């Protein structure tokens, strides 16, 4: 086997833990994970990233790219650039908010053709389960979608109606018939109907929940300066992914339920949302700190399997100051990793936990057995992170189409220094999210 690249670091996160290693790459695949001081084979290029941490490329299974049809909101070119800049090497596109929605094989082909020409990271597709497309589910499955998204409450766009209980049961039976996967936006429409009306410019608070047990906060490590700038390279060719045809979800006993959460639910709180700041509006809404503690407890005990972005952008004009009418969606493809890492470290977690939630877990959910871990035989997809460096979020540095962010001005830990897609460095991963003058190395967080 010809090794063409050796990626070396004192901190490589493997399924067995974090260790100094040299990752040998052949033809875009990890050939071996070798000792740090392994000899570089003749003809291979050495990339030594020093003490920066090498993570398996993140897998984001919840992204609304909106392309084609609502490309003024987002598109494959900008979304996948933002993904690469954030350490994400695989994204799965949600079936709604594009026109057409991914609800027939014909529509899937339209979406694939658009993505093929524009993507900077590997892209796959969820299908949509609507009240009237049960007959389309098996053909979509056979065409390689990773599963089906449905809503139990209004989705926010009229071309993607929700399922009632009866149609949910019908769709679940159909999907179970071919051992497929159904993912559910599980807001109860009856609870929503009974809730008080949305409240203009002010976020309405929920009654307090009982406080769950708190974790001890972790130690702080000293901050280090950021990495040097990298020169641009041509972009690696992305793949349009299909669900692996032989993939099965195991014996059909019991009910298999996987739970996801998102960076904004884990790092932002209702208490901090200023009046009229609808860049914080999403669906379901961001709740109070006590709820956030419960989510982190769920991550710690394994109840929550995945953290994915639910990147759901819109144009600025749809983010009116009225929480009742503003578009509900937060864009975080580029910021999810540092946002989650910042809070995770504060709560005493380490990067292996973050990898489990943001790479390994989503890859397993989707059956992406070449993604989600640094081990021989997997794709050479990497996110290289300086976990101690900090930066302050400047909307001007964001690569997604509409630079609206709930994270503006926040100081986050974790600078993505490079992203690698099947052995090629992505030219879109910014070497430093903030220009030196605007960065705040050494700034402390709470
Ligand atoms: Zn979503």
Q: Could you tell me the distance, in angstroms and rounded to a whole number, from the CA of residue 108 to the centre of ligand 1? A: 18
On whether the CB atoms of residues 372 and 352 are closer than 8 A, the answer is no
Question: Rounded distance, CA 300 to CA 349, Å?
Answer: 9
What are the distances in angstroms from CA 304 to CA 95, 123, 356, 362?
23, 24, 11, 11
Q: Which residues lie below 8 Å from residue 229, measured CB to CB, with a gap of 6+?
A: 431, 432
Within a 10 A sphere around the Cβ of 228, how many other Cβ atoms? Answer: 8
Q: Could you tell me the distance, in angstroms and rounded to a whole number, from the CA of residue 323 to the centre of ligand 1? A: 18
Question: Rounded distance, CA 415 to CA 232, Å?
Answer: 18
Within a 10 A sphere around the Cβ of 249, how many other Cβ atoms? Answer: 12
Residues linked to residue 63 through DSSP beta bridges, in sequence order? 93, 311
Q: Could you tell me the distance, in angstroms and rounded to a whole number, from the CA of residue 183 to the centre of ligand 1? A: 11
The protein residues having their C-beta less than 5 angstroms from ligand 1 (an ion) are 310
Q: Could you tell me the distance, in angstroms and rounded to a whole number, from the CA of residue 7 to the centre of ligand 1? A: 34
pLDDT score recorded for residue 233: 53
Q: Could you tell me the distance, in angstroms and rounded to a whole number, from the CA of residue 441 to the centre of ligand 1? A: 33
Owner of token pair 């509006």: 281
Instruction: For 68-186, list the strands marked E by DSSP.
Output: 88-93, 122-125, 127-128, 148-151, 182-185
For the entire predicted model, the pTM comes to: 0.87
Quote the tokens at residue 195: 């809730």
Q: Could you tell me the distance, in angstroms and rounded to a whole number, from the CA of residue 185 to the centre of ligand 1? A: 8
Q: Could you tell me the distance, in angstroms and rounded to a whole number, from the CA of residue 260 to the centre of ligand 1? A: 11
Question: Rounded distance, CA 167 to CA 157, Å?
Answer: 19
- In 377-403, which positions are buried (b, 16+ CB within 10 angstroms) versus exposed (e)? ebbbbbbbbbbbbbbbbbeebbbbbbe
On whether the CB atoms of residues 403 and 389 are closer than 8 A, the answer is no
What are the distances in angstroms from CA 87 to CA 60, 331, 355?
10, 15, 11
On whether the CB atoms of residues 241 and 421 are closer than 8 A, the answer is no
Q: Could you tell me the distance, in angstroms and rounded to a whole number, from the CA of residue 97 to the centre of ligand 1? A: 9
Q: Which residues lie below 8 Å from residue 88, measured CB to CB, with a gap of 6+?
A: 57, 58, 59, 60, 121, 309, 333, 336, 337, 383, 419
pLDDT score recorded for residue 112: 96
Q: Could you tell me the distance, in angstroms and rounded to a whole number, from the CA of residue 428 to the centre of ligand 1? A: 24
Furthest CA-CA distance within the chain: 68
Q: What are the pLDDT tens digits along the chain (446 aa)?
A: 799 999 999 999 999 999 999 999 999 999 999 999 999 999 999 999 999 999 999 999 999 999 999 999 999 999 999 999 999 999 999 999 999 999 999 999 999 999 998 999 999 999 999 999 999 999 999 999 999 999 999 998 999 999 999 999 999 999 999 999 999 998 888 888 888 776 688 876 655 444 443 333 333 333 344 444 444 455 666 777 887 665 555 444 567 788 999 999 999 999 999 999 999 999 889 999 999 999 999 999 999 999 999 999 989 899 988 888 888 899 999 999 999 999 999 999 999 999 999 999 999 999 999 999 999 999 999 999 999 999 999 999 999 999 999 999 999 999 999 999 999 999 865 544 433 333 333 333 33
Q: Could you tell me the distance, in angstroms and rounded to a whole number, from the CA of residue 70 to the centre of ligand 1? A: 15
pLDDT score recorded for residue 215: 34
- In 178-199, which positions are buried (b, 16+ CB within 10 angstroms) versus exposed (e)? eebbbbbbeeeeeeeeeeeeee
Q: Could you tell me the distance, in angstroms and rounded to a whole number, from the CA of residue 241 to the centre of ligand 1? A: 20
Tell me which residue of 124, 367, 145 sits closest to 256, measured CA to CA.
Answer: 367
Q: Could you tell me the distance, in angstroms and rounded to a whole number, from the CA of residue 157 to the centre of ligand 1? A: 12
Q: Strand 58-63 and strand 88-93: pairing?
A: parallel
Q: Could you tell me the distance, in angstroms and rounded to a whole number, from the CA of residue 150 to the centre of ligand 1? A: 10
Q: Could you tell me the distance, in angstroms and rounded to a whole number, from the CA of residue 291 to the centre of ligand 1? A: 20
Q: Could you tell me the distance, in angstroms and rounded to a whole number, from the CA of residue 156 to the centre of ligand 1? A: 10
Owner of token pair 């992305």: 238
Q: Could you tell me the distance, in angstroms and rounded to a whole number, from the CA of residue 102 to the centre of ligand 1? A: 14
pLDDT score recorded for residue 253: 52
- Give the number of C-alpha atoms closer than 13 A to the C-alpha of residue 23, restricted to the C-beta side: 35
Q: Which residues lie below 8 Å from residue 25, measured CB to CB, with a gap of 6+?
A: 3, 4, 5, 6, 7, 31, 380, 423
What are the distances in angstroms from CA 275 to CA 208, 243, 256?
20, 43, 40
Q: Strand 127-128 and strand 122-125: pairing?
A: unpaired
Q: Could you tell me the distance, in angstroms and rounded to a whole number, from the CA of residue 324 to the centre of ligand 1? A: 18
Question: Rounded distance, CA 275 to CA 383, Å?
Answer: 36
Q: Could you tell me the distance, in angstroms and rounded to a whole number, from the CA of residue 154 to the centre of ligand 1? A: 12
Residues found in the chain = 446
Question: Rounded distance, CA 345 to CA 222, Å?
Answer: 13
Tell me which residue of 113, 110, 104, 198 sits closest to 159, measured CA to CA.
Answer: 104
- Three-state secondary structure of 358-423: HHHHHHHHHCCCCCCCCCCCCECCEEEEEEEEEEECCHHHCCCCCCCCCCCCCEEEEEEEEEEECC
Question: Rounded distance, CA 24 to CA 30, Å?
Answer: 6
């Amino acid at each position: 086997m010809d090794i063409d690249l050796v990626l070396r670091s004192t901190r490589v996160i493997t399924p067995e833990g974090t260790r100094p290693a040299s990752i040998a790459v052949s033809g875009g695949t990890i050939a071996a994970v070798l000792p740090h001081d392994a000899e570089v084979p003749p003809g291979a290029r050495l990339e030594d990233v020093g003490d920066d941490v090498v993570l398996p490329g993140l897998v984001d299974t919840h992204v609304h790219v909106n392309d084609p049809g609502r490309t003024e909101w987002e598109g494959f070119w900008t979304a996948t650039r933002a993904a690469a800049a954030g350490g994400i090497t695989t994204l799965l596109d949600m079936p709604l908010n594009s026109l057409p929605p991914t609800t027939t094989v014909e529509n899937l082909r339209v979406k694939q053709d658009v993505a093929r020409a524009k993507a900077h990271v590997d892209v796959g597709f969820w299908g949509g389960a609507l009240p009237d497309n049960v007959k389309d589910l098996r053909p979509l499955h056979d065409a390689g979608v990773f599963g089906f998204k449905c809503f139990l409450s209004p989705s926010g766009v009229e071309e993607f109606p929700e399922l009632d209980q009866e149609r949910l049961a019908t769709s679940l039976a159909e999907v179970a018939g071919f051992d497929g996967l159904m993912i559910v936006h599980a807001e109860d429409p009856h609870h929503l109907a009974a809730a008080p009306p949305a409240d203009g410019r002010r976020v309405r608070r929920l009654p307090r929940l009982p406080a769950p047990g708190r974790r001890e906060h972790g130690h702080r490590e000293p901050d280090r300066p950021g990495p040097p700038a990298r020169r641009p390279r041509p972009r690696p060719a992305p793949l349009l992914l299909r669900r692996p045809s032989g993939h099965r979800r195991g014996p059909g006993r019991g009910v298999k339920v996987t739970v996801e959460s998102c960076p904004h639910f884990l790092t932002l709180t209702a208490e901090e949302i200023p009046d009229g700041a609808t860049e914080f509006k999403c669906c379901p809404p961001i709740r109070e700190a006590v709820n956030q503690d419960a989510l982190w407890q769920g991550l710690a005990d394994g109840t929550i399997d995945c953290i994915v972005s639910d990147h759901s952008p819109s144009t600025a004009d749809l983010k009116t100051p009225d929480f009742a009418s503003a578009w509900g969606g937060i864009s975080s493809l580029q910021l999810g990793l540092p946002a989650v890492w910042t809070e995770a470290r504060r709560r005493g977690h380490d990067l292996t936990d973050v990898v489990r939630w943001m790479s390994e877990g989503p890859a397993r959910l989707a059956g992406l057995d070449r993604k989600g871990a640094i081990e021989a035989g997997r794709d050479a997809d990497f996110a290289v992170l300086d976990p101690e460096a900090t930066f302050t979020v400047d909307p001007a540095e964001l690569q997604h189409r509409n630079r609206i962010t709930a994270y503006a001005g926040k100081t986050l830990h974790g600078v993505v220094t490079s992203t690698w897609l099947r052995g090629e460095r992505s030219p879109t991963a910014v070497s430093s999210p903030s220009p030196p003058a605007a960065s705040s190395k050494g700034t402390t967080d709470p």
